[in-house]
Amino acid sequence: MRVTVNKLFKQIPWAVLIPVAVLLGLAPFRPEPHLLEKLRMLAEGQLIRPVDIFDLILHGAPLLLVLGKLLFGRDAPRSTKP
């Protein structure tokens, strides 16, 4: 049985993916969300500790899944024949 990327993305419901992406993307809410902190550290070249790299992956993965679902989870356009 062959599983395609489109099928995998279609199996993830939006109702679950969006809240998880928002909560993990913004957690902790104070003083600064981890994702923003880690992206700032990456831009400044300070993202070197393994725990920081793990944090970036953990907090950014749901947003990458949202992006992947938007790009690959769409149905292929159907051609209309008269």
**Euclidean distance between CA atoms 41 and 38, whole angstroms:** 5
For residue 50, whether the previous peptide bond is cis, meaning omega lies within 30 degrees of 0, is no
The chain-wide mean pLDDT, for the chain, equals 86
pTM of the model: 0.76
- Give the residue among 9, 16, 4 at the shortest CA–CA distance from 73: 9
**Structurally, how many domains does the chain consist of?**
1
Whether 63 is covered by a domain: the verdict is yes
Q: How confident is the model at residue 72 (pLDDT cuts 50, 70, 90)?
A: confident
Whether 68 is covered by a domain: the verdict is yes
Residue-number span of the structural domain to which 48 is assigned: 5-72
Whether 22 is covered by a domain: the verdict is yes
Q: How confident is the model at residue 22 (pLDDT cuts 50, 70, 90)?
A: very high
Whether 34 is covered by a domain: the verdict is yes
Whether 20 is covered by a domain: the verdict is yes
- Give the residue among 18, 53, 17, 49 at the shortest CA–CA distance from 34: 53
Whether 80 is covered by a domain: the verdict is no
pLDDT at 33 over 70: yes
Q: Which two tokens stand for residue 20?
A: 């998880």
Percent of the chain at pLDDT exceeding 70: 85
Taking every pair of C-alpha atoms in the chain, what is the biggest distance, in angstroms?
A: 61
Whether 29 is covered by a domain: the verdict is yes
